[in-house]
Chain A
């Protein structure tokens, strides 16, 4: 099986603003891709294009379908939670389950019931009567009961308390994810998903800043907390970003000689969040 998502020269402009500027990337089956970028970077536009919610220039195939013109067919294989929970207020919980069961050939109602059984959500409640957290729980229960090839999550845990957020990601891994499925996820809480991800895609001002597997990240990036007397020596290795933390200099290196760097201070693989900041700020400097 080839790439689940294949984008080539993807562009989308709103007037003079380039939300996506000639972007190319791909995602293979069985990967969990974190799409990470600041607000307004083009994350949402990219997801919207993948989901067939917006038109675009360039080439884009999702599961070998054109998302914009074949959205209804694509949605048999893809499910998504775009942005915060968007279930309509008038809908009753039971109606939501019945509706998805009626239109989705890959929806398993018993699985949704099982997920809902772990919550305090009443089947007769209308969505508007539920708390924000409960609405998200309901939406997740619906989506996780769909046997989809691609799951797209855009800020899935907004409005949830920390206990449920943890639960969500645990059940995403244990109940949902297997190695044939692909998940694309965006979130501001990068730390929470860091251990889940197999791939990261950094996006800034409509361009891809980094497209890498987590293994590659570990191999090619080094975050060095430099010993004060080795700062000049460390700079010889051309860090792409450096900053001060508690009076000490922290430098970020790409494809530098790791062994040599170890002698200059405390070297380790940067966290996704730190790497992201370094990449964005480093590129801006």
Chain B
């Protein structure tokens, strides 16, 4: 029997922050969209109404639509971090693990359900929130510009623009999840392991490893590995050179073509050894988390 859908629902029963966090982001964004000056990477709603930038309107709109994803992604990052650290620890702490383990659900199913929530359900939900916010953004933006810009409705609601912006967001989220999977796996492992102070267990062993390496070998491999993991995704998944080169003709630093979707670079991303090594490491962490989940019935 497949318990996964119900196990995922269970996580949403428990964690109301899955709804509250995006709702707060949405509320702030809607305030900015309606009354403020929405802008992202030198593109702003005010520029759309500026006749000097008529040729770059498509680019500005693409940037604005993708920009909406950024605060959602930051909020999702924190949500995921705290969710995973708690996921195999909180029920041991309040001893409800004894109830969950009294049911015919395997430890593997339990761990996998937490991973699926973090790596699939939350990103999909976040994407849905981005799309909904953008639809509202399009509507309010069109209304705000309708006095100053001709044909604003057909320009804002151009299907290619929407497809390109959201394909880029979806691609970024998918590749990000794969790239950061070893970190998600590590958090699960720590959550299954720690008897207290989960956050310290997540960080201190790595700091200790870095210190030992420096103290004995005077090298920084662990630190560099971490730096490459945290900072490596962007340049592997997106090739922004083409867009950057087209920019800066008029000093606005907004790419001329606005074809941000061209920066999608799955070839480089999926052929990078870093991705595959990371996935293997992630599988190891997840496997270990399942074993620990079986062993630990209480803190």
A72 CA / B110 CA spacing, docked (Å): 11
Partner of A102, one of B3, B101, B102: B3
A86 neighbours in B (Cβ, 8 Å): 94-99
Does B268 reach chain A (CB closer than 8 Å)?
no
A166 CA / B198 CA spacing, docked (Å): 43
Does A53 reach chain B (CB closer than 8 Å)?
yes
The reply to whether A88 and B106 form a contact with Cβ atoms under 8 Å apart is no
The reply to whether B94 and A79 form a contact with Cβ atoms under 8 Å apart is no
Does B224 reach chain A (CB closer than 8 Å)?
no
Which residues B63-121 have CB closer than 8 A to chain A? Answer: 91, 94-99, 101-107, 109
Does A209 reach chain B (CB closer than 8 Å)?
no
Which residues A28-82 have CB closer than 8 A to chain B? Answer: 48, 51-55, 68, 71-76, 79-82
Shortest Cβ distance from residue B77 to the other chain A in the assembled complex, whole angstroms: 23
Does A91 reach chain B (CB closer than 8 Å)?
yes
Which residues B1-31 have CB closer than 8 A to chain A? Answer: 1, 3, 6, 10, 13-14
Does A90 reach chain B (CB closer than 8 Å)?
yes
A82 neighbours in B (Cβ, 8 Å): 98, 102
A143 CA / B6 CA spacing, docked (Å): 19
Write the chain B residue with the least CB distance to A74. Answer: B104
B102 neighbours in A (Cβ, 8 Å): 51, 75, 79-82, 143
B101 neighbours in A (Cβ, 8 Å): 51-53, 71, 75
* Given A71-B106, A71-B107, CB of A90 within 8 Å of CB of B14: yes
Which residues A106-154 have CB closer than 8 A to chain B? Answer: 139, 143
Partner of B13, one of A71, A79, A95: A95
A88 neighbours in B (Cβ, 8 Å): 14, 91, 94, 96, 99
Write the chain A residue with the least CB distance to B298. Answer: A53
Chain B window 267-296, contacts with chain A (Cβ cutoff 8 Å), 1 for yes, 0 for no: 000000000000000000000000000110
Does B297 reach chain A (CB closer than 8 Å)?
yes
The reply to whether B105 and A87 form a contact with Cβ atoms under 8 Å apart is no
Chain A window 83-109, contacts with chain B (Cβ cutoff 8 Å), 1 for yes, 0 for no: 100111111100100011011110000
B105 neighbours in A (Cβ, 8 Å): 72, 75, 103
The reply to whether A91 and B295 form a contact with Cβ atoms under 8 Å apart is no
The reply to whether A103 and B96 form a contact with Cβ atoms under 8 Å apart is no
* Given A86-B98, A87-B96, CB of A104 within 8 Å of CB of B297: no
What are 30 sample pairs from A and B whose C-beta atoms fall under 8 A apart? A51-B101, A52-B101, A55-B295, A68-B294, A71-B101, A71-B106, A71-B107, A72-B106, A75-B102, A76-B104, A80-B102, A81-B102, A82-B98, A86-B97, A86-B98, A87-B96, A88-B99, A90-B13, A90-B14, A91-B13, A91-B96, A95-B10, A99-B6, A99-B103, A102-B6, A103-B6, A103-B103, A104-B104, A105-B1, A139-B99
Interface residues of A (CB under 8 A from B): 48, 51-55, 68, 71-76, 79-83, 86-92, 95, 99-100, 102-105, 139, 143
